[in-house]
Structure 1
Amino acid sequence: MEPNWLPPLRQQLSLRKKGGDRLCSLKWSSDGGLILTLLSGDPLRTLTKVGRDATFQELKQKLLRELNVEDRHLSFLRGAEPVGLDERIGELNGVVLQQQEVPLSEDGFSLLPYQRSAVEYALQRAGRVLLGHEMGLGKTVIALAVCANYRQDWPVLVVAPTVLLNQWSDEIQRWLPDVPAEGIQVIRKVMHMKNKQKVPVEIRPTAQFVLVSYGLVVGQMQRKGVANGTGGQSNGHLRVAADGQPYRTVIIDEAHALKDFKTQRTKTLIPILHTATRAILMTGTPLANSSAGDILPLMAAVIGNRIRLPPLDKWCTHFCAENRAFNTGYRTINRWTGVCKEHEDKLSELLRLFMVRRTKEEVLAELPPKRRLKVHLELTPSEMGPVAKQQQLVSDFEKAAKERPEGGDEIDSLPSHEIMKIFKLLAEAKQTAVCDWLHTSFFDEQAGVKTKVLIFAHHKCVHDKLAEFFRKQLGEGSCGDLWVHITGDTSPNERNRQLTTFKSADGCRFAVLALTACNTGLNLDIADTCIFAELCWTPSALNQAESRIHRMGQQASRVLVYYLVAGGRGSPDEIMFNALARKSETASRVVDQEKDHPSALRESQLLTPKRKRRSNDLDDAGETPEPKPKRPARRQP
């Protein structure tokens, strides 16, 4: 049974969905309200504070606010003739309301058909939209094309991860050449020196696009002695335009960062988006954690306070699969997870009412196929010993926690870092096996592979081991020439230099990248092989990383993605891989409406190479032949 808040929410959202010409009949109700009804018979809404003595101009102004549409797109007709706006409403006499087709400003943009369709979708919703296209399909140019239609609402605030700010600046200059270089201001720090004193960075009055990172727009000044302020002052001056007025157009890149109402970034940015007239959110992974709870904050950000939304607990009770208890190490918390299968269709329907999305399979027939391969790394018992011991410790703790009587003391016997220690130990255990596999696959004389390769890792110990491995294989001074290494600590200038080298130098074949710092915003279609030395719990992070190479511009005949999974059944890697497959399937059903479609992770081919063996040791099916039994040792006399 549907909750009572769902039908009106669906109805109000559907008003934003209607494109093209829309006609509504107008009539007076018995209690004096003005009823607007779609010609399909569906009621639109009732206006109670409009009288017969009001003019059509007054009615139009009220409807502009109520329907969130543009002045030039709304008119009244009597028959085929327009109604004068200074005419009084009176008895209406066959007057209908027309919401006209939204014209699309080309503005020099060369858009592909699916991109033009997305721009039209956004304009039909007055520039408030979630662009959910898969990574690599040009969400940036779509957002800029939408902005080009609303120049009266500039300057534009663009909030994006730090590593994407330079890319945004380049794309603005490419697609909007009439915007001068001084019209783009990239905010890289909060403070600067002025008259030998540290003062807040000011927004230039000439700035038409202001680019700022999540950290700066949300954070606070921590330094003491700030002019005209004190330590800990809010970065509020970065959240308004140079004249102190709210931004009327706001773009949020990687918008899945707003998936939780409780985070500071969501608390800060949603009011900014509510105040703005245009709000363009961009994410290729709207269901980042495969939880229905991720959708409501994005909906709240896009539609603003124009539509009343249900409380989060009611939303999650209806759409989520379960309210699951998690042990943090200090206490037990409840978290809504998954999507209720019974309501997947309804959630997908609501999502489509404020999100436009295309997948690569839908629009890029010429894109090369992506082939995923699961590589089972063989670890020795001594390597897996510390991991198994830590897993047993956590298992014993969870068992004891479940046996605690209700109302007992809070769980405080196992700090949370002990749980995360499993993954650190696994990283240490598999790092040598990872390097052995890389040596066999890319450096043996018979490997014969001359492609460009991305290698994603997370823990510092794995990065250090990979760096040691490549220095040994390619030479001590080879980093930056024959291979590149980018982590979260790499400076922006050094990062750009290394990326340029990787893309332009034929001899630079390998890029070792941080999974969390380099999985978004980079165009590395020069490579055709992607390797995950480590996994993570979030499918969207892996999809984002894969899309660095599987995107428009890829010229290879196929793209290869390797998942290096260590240990056997029950290992942390295996558990995580299976969990990723389940989450990926849920996201596909809700976001892409793919029913009964197995996760691409489940369809990945399984390879089980032996340590220190060459690639020709694999049989035709990709499996390693069973080793021959060892000859018994000779007895000593």
Structure 2
Amino acid sequence: MRRYQQEGVNWLGFLLKYQLHGILCDDMGLGKTLQTIAAIACDTHLRRERYKRTGEERDRPLPSLIVCPPTLVDHWQHEILQFCNETLVPITLRSKEVKERASLREELLSSDKVLILSYDSLRLHLLHLLNSSISWNFAVLDEGHIIKNPSSKITAAVKSIGLCSLHRLILTGTPIQNNVLELWSLFDFLMPGFLGSAQHFQLHYARPILDDRERKEEAKVIEAGDRALDRLHRQVLPFMLRRTKEEVLQDLPPKIIQDILLPLTPLQSHLYRLAVRKGGEGGGGAQGEKSKTLQTLTQLKKIVNHPMLVLDAEQEEDKQVIAQVCGPGVSPHDINLSAKLLALHELLVDCGIGVEEEQSSSRVLIFAQMRSMLDIIQRDLLEKKLPAATYLRMDGTTPVHQRFEIQKAFNSDPTIDLLLLTTHVGGLGLTLTGADTVIFIEHDWNPMKDLQATLLQAMDRAHRIGQTKTVNVFRLITKGTLEEKIMGLQRFKL
């Protein structure tokens, strides 16, 4: 282990010794999984030794539970088998078959195996797991910010399991995403009542801190906000451990982020102006206006990516629009219709990808929000313009059990040039150190949605332990559009 990882395991050991619970919120890629596995294995080994000596009920073997996004179930199983296969026995739970669940209950009641399942699976299997009278040694939440909403069904299910466990641990690089009330939800799993009720926390912590941020000109508000923040720090920081890459990984190569501003193509400009004009037309009442605004935003988001996300190549009317703006005979699959597709083509050629006479030295991750955009990239760019490029793809339709295998194939096979991903699937938990270039085609337009859980996590899929090359990150942004303004808001939030 690296020194900081050993210190992390020591910190987890301190929590275990005094029956405390905490959040390991190291920066992404620093080995939270490894540190957690080491702590579970150590405690499991010690319990076995004590039980052999004493035979007491309190030392009997207990199973542990790891709850994670579905993409990471196989990853956890692989890591446990790789590092601690002599101490820990991992079990994955996906099937909804009642017979298999019944046999699993008996298996867990008399063992110290590690059950790994997704948040959705936990919600589906909740009654089974509780009714079986299983006591857990560890309950670990990977990407634990998923329970930031205290009123969601997943959060309720997770907190029910937490009450049946001796040790509770949350792993997340982003314990706070939008507001400090989310931190209350995480601690309500770890130590219910430690930060009071949600209403108490809102009154004494969240509201003063928010007022301080929004009304900085009032001295009383600033003072109240500072006091609330200081009280919150003193209460929660002993139970949180965070190290950043810059602090502990001097040997990690740099990550260079470049925003590439692109002018819209004539067709995109035409459609963009039409959408803005149509969105500005009133009517429909307050609720109708809100709905219309959201529809317009969605329309604009699609237009700046590719016109064919809003046009239908089979509709005669849409064909006439393309011919009118771009000239007769222009194919709806022409990459010149989209500024981002043109820029992506140039970037890939510059990387030597798809150019047959060159051996590419770069390997690229391409992220998009929508699967339909990946479809266009695959069909109109890779298959038509860069047929020599080799690629894999992972999105919401990729079966969960195949995602880890795709990750392994990409990292281990240097002949695979590209991996196409949606940020929803690729932004959580995957290790993609085989890549040294990351390209974002589109971005989350909601400034209140956590930036670190999408863009930063996704780009850090490549920038983590094991990376030996400089990681270049390119973000394609259309000039003079709402997208450019939203990215400015996101930079301010970050």
TM-score normalised by structure 1 residue count: 0.60
The answer to whether 1:238 aligns with 2:144 is no
**Distance in 2 between the 1:349 and 1:373 partners?**
38
Hey, what does 1:303 align to over in structure 2? 191
Tell me the equivalent position of 2:342. Answer: 436
Match of 1:316 in 2: 206
Q: Per-residue deviation at 1:124?
A: 2.3
* Residue 453 (1) aligns with residue 355 (2): no
Compared with structure 1, are the counterparts of its residues 508 and 185 closer, same or farther at alpha carbon in structure 2 (3 Å cutoff)? Answer: same
C-alpha displacement of 1:421: 4.8
Are positions 1:564 and 2:449 aligned together?
no
Question: Partners in 1 of 2:295 and 2:409 — Cα distance?
Answer: 36
Q: Secondary structure at the match of 1:171?
A: helix
In the alignment, residue 118 of structure 2 is paired with which amino acid? S
Counterpart AA for 1:458: Q
**Cα displacement string for residues 200-227 of structure 1 (whole angstroms, at most 9, x for unaligned residues):** 67332346100110011113xxxxxxxx
Correspondence for 2:328: none
2:418 is the counterpart of 1:471: no
After superposition, the Cα gap between the structure-2 partners of 1:368 and 1:342, relative to the gap in structure 1 and judged at 3 Å, is farther
Contact 1:384 1:426 (C-alpha < 8 Å) held by counterparts: no
> Does residue 35 of structure 2 align to residue 123 of structure 1?
no
Equivalent position of 2:423 in the other structure: 515
Give the drift of 1:235.
Answer: 3.6
Q: Does 1:376 align with 2:278?
A: no
Aligned counterparts of 1:246 and 1:424: Cα–Cα separation in 2 = 50
> Structure 1 residues 343 and 384 mapped into 2: Cα distance closer, same or farther (>3 Å)?
farther
Per the TM alignment, residue 547 of structure 1 is displaced from its structure 2 partner at its CA by: 1.2
Q: Which residue of structure 2 lines up, in the alignment, with residue 38 of structure 1?
A: none
Q: In structure 2, what is the equivalent of residue 212 of structure 1?
A: 117
1:146, distance to aligned residue in structure 2 (A): 2.1
TM-score (norm 2): 0.77
In the TM superposition, residue 259 of structure 1 has moved relative to its aligned partner by 0.9
Aligned position for 1:143: 36
**Which residue identity lines up with residue 485 of structure 1 in the other structure?**
R
Which residue of the partner structure matches residue 6 of structure 1? none
Q: Conserved in 2, the CA contact under 8 Å of 1:127 and 1:146? A: no
Quote the Cα distance in structure 1 between the aligned partners of 2:161 and 2:436. 40
SS in structure 2 at match of 1:516: helix
- Partners of 1:517 and 1:578 in 2: how far apart? 25
Structure 2 CA distance for aligned equivalents of residues 564 and 149 of structure 1 = 46
Choose between structure 1 and 2: higher strand proportion.
1
Corresponding residue for residue 323 of structure 2 = none
Residue type at the aligned position of 1:461: S
Instruction: Identify the residue that residue 532 of structure 1 maps to in structure 2.
Output: 440
3-state DSSP of counterpart to 2:409: helix
Q: 1:177 and 2:97 equivalent?
A: no
The equivalent of 1:114 in structure 2 is 4
Q: Distance in 1 between matches of 2:227 and 2:274?
A: 40
Alignment partners' CA distance in 2, 1:340 and 1:510: 48
* 3-state secondary structure, aligned to 2:158: helix
Distance across 2 between alignment mates of 1:445 and 1:122: 43
State the alpha-carbon separation in 1 of the partners of residues 175 and 281 from structure 2. 36
Query: In 2, Cα distance between the equivalents of 1:127 and 1:370?
Result: 36
Amino acid at match of 2:468: Q
Per the alignment, do residues 245 and 497 of structure 1 end up closer, same or farther by CA in structure 2, a change over 3 Å counting? Answer: closer
Give identity over the alignment, percent: 24
Which protein has greater RCO, CA pairs closer than 8 Å, 6+ apart? 2
Q: Once the 2 structures are TM-superposed, how far is the Cα of residue 390 of structure 1 from its aligned partner? A: 4.0
Q: Does the CA-based 8 Å contact 2:407-2:431 persist in structure 1? A: no
CA distance in structure 1 between the partners assigned to 2:95 and 2:286 by the alignment: 41
| Matching residue of 2:92 | 186
**Aligned equivalent of 1:293, options 176, 181, 200:** 181
Distance 1:247 1:494, change over 3 A: closer
Q: Residue 250 of structure 1 aligns to which amino acid in structure 2?
A: A
Deviates more, 1:279-288 or 1:466-475: 466-475
Contact kept in structure 2, 1:258 and 1:297, CA below 8 Å: yes
Which consecutive unaligned segments of at least 5 residues does structure 2 have? 48-60, 215-223, 307-337
Amino acid paired to 1:150 = D
Q: Which amino acid aligns with 1:122?
A: L
Distance 2:420 2:96 in 1: 31
- How many residues align? The count is 420
**Partner of 1:84 in structure 2?**
none
1:626 corresponds to: none
Tell me how far apart the structure 2 counterparts of residues 354 and 270 of structure 1 sit (CA, whole Å). 18
Q: Could you say if the C-alpha distance between residues 414 and 207 of structure 1 is closer, same or farther in structure 2, counting changes exceeding 3 Å?
A: farther
8 A Cα contact 1:158 1:250, kept in partner: yes
Distance 1:391 1:272 in 2: 49
One-letter code of the match for 2:191? I
Give the secondary-structure state (helix, strand or coil) at the position aligned to 2:288: coil
Amino acid at match of 1:131: L
Instruction: Name the CA shift for 1:283/1:246 in 2 (closer, same or farther; >3 Å).
Output: same
The whole-number CA distance in structure 2 between the counterparts of 1:132 and 1:575 is 30
Superposed CA RMSD in Å reads: 3.1
* SS state at 1:190 partner: coil
C-alpha separation in 2, matches of 1:342 and 1:572: 38
Distance 1:392 1:376 in 2: 24
Counterparts of 1:397-436 in structure 2, within 5 Å, are 411-414=286-289, 416=291, 419-431=294-306, 432-436=338-342
Q: Do the aligned partners of 1:452 and 1:510 also contact (CA within 8 Å) in 2?
A: yes
Post-superposition offset of 1:257: 0.5
* SS in structure 2 at match of 1:525: coil
Residue 245 of structure 2 corresponds to which residue in structure 1? 360
> What is the aligned partner in structure 1 of residue 413 from structure 2?
505
Structure with higher helix content: 2
How far the C-alpha of 1:341 sits from its partner, in A, is: 7.5
Contact 1:379/1:430 (8 A) holds in 2:
no
- Partner secondary structure for residue 561 of structure 1: strand
| Deviations, residues 304-349 of structure 1 (Å, cap 9, x unaligned) | 345645624313212224999xxxxxxxxxxxxxx96785555455
* 1:548 pairs with 2:454: no
Shift of 1:357: 0.4
